[in-house]
Structure 1
Amino acid sequence: MATDGVHLLEHIKTPAMVVARGQVRFANSAATALLGAHIIGQDVRIAIRDPKAVAAILSEEGGTARISGLAVGGSLWEVDCRVLGDGSRLVSLYDLSERVSVAKSHADFVANASHELRTPLANVIGYVETLMNPKAGGDEALRERFLGTIRHEAQRMQALISDLMSLSRIEAVKHEVPADLVDLVPLAREVVGEFRDGSHVTLHTNCDSAPLSGDRGQLAQVLRNLIDNALKYGGPDGPVEVSIEAAQTGWVLVCVRDHGEGIAPEHLPRITERFYRADASRSRAAGGTGLGLSIVKHIVERHRGRFDIESRLGNGTSASLMLPLRDGPAG
């Protein structure tokens, strides 16, 4: 391979090597970072210890092979070998790990969504078929009970579809930083006011105004989801405290705290995953879709903020988010 071609390889981010007579004659920085600087001058069978990859590299016409664990366990790479005019081989290494991971995540998401919809749908069909039986349908008390269950299951499906659509919309714009001016204090007062009837939600602020660049609808959704969660799992008639604290560092801290049973520590790392529930039966009974905290996390990340959940069994749960202020704290 010509010298200028070798120099060109040094400037690309894809790991690349030149192999001649079975030896690695050149490896760019990306390749040595991946495999180690010692591979230069080494037999390619030692540099890449995978029979499929070596066979593709040493074959007369070149070829491709997929190998796993090249960099770290669980990683997936494609080795592509092209035979050059002088008989040397250009070997490029492509990391497929993220692509495979995304595909698996999408497949898992569809499977989980299908499962979540299938259960209430099966219940609705079962109860409707029972009510179609003249004997069961003629019993007024039984009919009322079954219709109540059908309504509950239909509402579960409606809530799940609404959250799925919401999550889809959020992910579609996740790379677009919101630019509208939103004042978090009056927005929080408005959202908290929606929960005043029959609930004990209070709001405390250290400022009259907390302006930031954001999407008003999404920020309202974050507050609603967190307050709704706190009311569901904070115990009967338990108080929910919402606080807003603007700091001189240019950030605003929003915290939603309940005094319920709390969350076991083994669940906390996964609590924002889609469809993950610390207490599945309790969540479904309360009408939870398993997507609320995932939606919150995605919205906070879109606003370039940070989201955290702290909890101790028997001592309640505190969900907090930090968002960058637009013009610094006011009030």
Structure 2
Amino acid sequence: MWLRFSSFVVFMAAGAAAGWWLRGWPAACGGIMLAALAWWLVDVWRALRVLRSLRDGETAALPSMRGLWGEVADRLRRLRRAEQRRLEDSERRLQEFLEAIQASSNGVMLLDAEGRINWCNPTAASHFGIDIERDRDQLIGNLVRDPNFTSYYAHPDPNRNAMVTGSGDSAGRPVRLAVRLHAYGEGRRLMLSNDVTAVEQAEAMRRDFVANVSHEIRTPLTVLTGFVETLQSLPLEEGERARYLELMAQQASRMQTLVNDLLTLSRIEGSPPPGRNEWTPLAALTDDCEDEAQALSALLTAGQGAAHALHFEPAPALALAGSRTELMSAMSNLVSNAVRYTPAGGSVTVAWQLLAGGQAEFAVVDTGPGVAPEHIPRLTERFYRVDRSRSRETGGTGLGLAIVKHVVQRHGAELRIQSTLGKGSRFAIVFPANRVRQAAGSAQAVQ
């Protein structure tokens, strides 16, 4: 401001001096007026330069000058740079926010007041089978035709979810989505979706598990209760009493077996994966399985004349890494299942085989009734039985193959099932090469 006043005074003094030198005092007054006009024109010209730059939006090209307008131009440049930095920062934060939403495992979709799709992340596009480029500005009601969604969209409630069927749903692979709408802006809506298929399946498995356990325990308890009441209320001969007590012992043993299997399954699921510090010779595992199989076969075929033909081929001189208890549980379950489901007089063959790449296969082959192809994928489910009456007759709990599946997974192995209805089955566990080595004291090498 002081510079501006100084320049004005200088202009006035120069005009007065020029007029005085030319014509005296009258000319000096005219010189002052002409100097004032010239100063004003220069000032207006400088102002117009600043305004022209502002009008063109080129604040970065504001003229560099001194004086008031120079300071104005300089301040405008600084304000423009500060604004640009704020815009860049806002743009960066917005981009980071959008990247976070893009990477979210939940579906996010923005709808306008009429229900048209403005934007959605890849998860939402996958949930509803939407192509964001193709389906942008399409009505969401035309793309998602689930009746539950239609009803929920007509009367949205931000405090509850609508359960709808997702894209790719099929009988073999159900897809269930939890959808919720939130209002924002002027009639706009934020739609969130979450894949709850696994949660619903887990809940269904939990309900089935509780129902199956209750059913499996209720049956022997009912038998025990009936026999106890009979023993308490009726005078029985010694032979009848002994027979009732034997039946009660069988039912108690069945419940004990069920509880033991449940505890085994719970322990396996809740414990850390087995390491490779404990090595068990294959021969020891095979011998234990053979002893159990012979005892079980003798029990099941007692009084039937023909026993099972059990063939246990010699195990190679190899050792297996992992939990011996778990390995024994898995192998004995496969062998006992083969014995239970093979009629008296049938054969069960157990053998180890060294596969290419150093893998070891434990296989159990029986001549039982076999399993239909549609049942094979579900055999490892808890309490799943192809023939419930046959399972109960042989004392099975329905948890054996579930235990086998978990042991196999924990040891990085693979369970292979082959079966032909009416001809028999082959159950095999293939252990990875890094869990197989030469047994201590043996000269046989792993090929």
RMSD: 2.7
**100-109 vs 185-194, greater mean Cα deviation:** 185-194
Q: Which residue of 2 aligns with 1:8?
A: 100
Q: Which has the higher contact order (CA 8 A, sep 6+)?
A: 1
State how 1:45-56 maps to structure 2 within 5 Å. Answer: 45-49=141-145, 50-55=149-154
Q: Which residue of 2 aligns with 1:141?
A: 239
Tell me, yes or no, if structure 1 residue 65 matches structure 2 residue 167: no
State how 1:116-155 maps to structure 2 within 5 Å. Answer: 116-135=216-235, 137=236, 139-155=237-253
C-alpha distance in 2 between matches for 1:227 and 1:103: 32
- Partner letter of residue 94 of structure 1? N
State how 1:18-97 maps to structure 2 within 5 Å. Answer: 18-22=110-114, 23-35=116-128, 36-37=130-131, 38-49=134-145, 50-55=149-154, 64-71=160-167, 72=169, 74-84=174-184, 88-97=188-197
Q: Alpha-carbon deviation of 1:85?
A: 5.7
Q: Which residue of 1 aligns with 2:268?
A: 170
Q: Which residue of 2 aligns with 1:255?
A: 363
Please state which structure has a larger fraction of its residues in strand. Answer: 1
Q: Which residue of 1 aligns with 2:317?
A: 208
1:301–1:272 Cα change, 3 Å: same
1:90–1:83 Cα change, 3 Å: same
SS of alignment partner, residue 79 of structure 1: strand
1:53–1:184 Cα change, 3 Å: farther
Q: Alpha-carbon deviation of 1:95?
A: 1.2
SS of alignment partner, residue 313 of structure 2: strand
C-alpha distance in 2 between matches for 1:184 and 1:84: 67
Normalised to the residue count of structure 2, the TM-score between the two structures is 0.65
Query: Percent identical across equivalent pairs?
Result: 31
C-alpha distance in 2 between matches for 1:44 and 1:326: 53
Q: Alpha-carbon deviation of 1:291?
A: 1.3
Larger Rg: 2
C-alpha distance in 2 between matches for 1:123 and 1:15: 53
1:141-195, CA deviations, whole angstroms, 9 ceiling, x for partnerless residues? 211211111111111111111111111222223xx43213333513423423523
Alignment: residue pair count: 323
SS of alignment partner, residue 356 of structure 2: coil
**304-313 vs 47-56, greater mean Cα deviation:** 47-56
1:166–1:237 Cα change, 3 Å: same
- Partner letter of residue 286 of structure 2? R
Match for residue 386 of structure 2 among 260, 278, 295: 278
- Partner letter of residue 10 of structure 1? Q
1:267–1:51 Cα change, 3 Å: closer
C-alpha distance in 1 between matches for 2:221 and 2:159: 49
State how 1:163-312 maps to structure 2 within 5 Å. Answer: 163-173=261-271, 176-180=272-276, 181-195=278-292, 201-204=310-313, 207-212=316-321, 214-236=322-344, 238-312=346-420
Q: Alpha-carbon deviation of 1:206?
A: 6.9
1:145–1:10 Cα change, 3 Å: same
- Partner letter of residue 54 of structure 1? Y
C-alpha distance in 2 between matches for 1:270 and 1:178: 26
Please state which structure has a larger fraction of its residues in helix. Answer: 2
Q: Alpha-carbon deviation of 1:308?
A: 2.3
C-alpha distance in 1 between matches for 2:403 and 2:314: 24
1:263–1:20 Cα change, 3 Å: closer
Q: Which residue of 2 aligns with 1:320?
A: 428
* 8 A contact 1:56–1:63 mirrored in 2: no
Q: Alpha-carbon deviation of 1:44?
A: 2.9
- Partner letter of residue 204 of structure 2? K
- Partner letter of residue 336 of structure 2? D
1:242-281, CA deviations, whole angstroms, 9 ceiling, x for partnerless residues? 1111223232111011223333444333322222222322
1:184–1:294 Cα change, 3 Å: farther
* 8 A contact 2:282–2:315 mirrored in 1: no
Runs of at least 5 residues in structure 2 that lack an aligned partner in the other structure:
1-89, 299-307, 439-443
- Partner letter of residue 264 of structure 2? S
C-alpha distance in 2 between matches for 1:56 and 1:12: 27
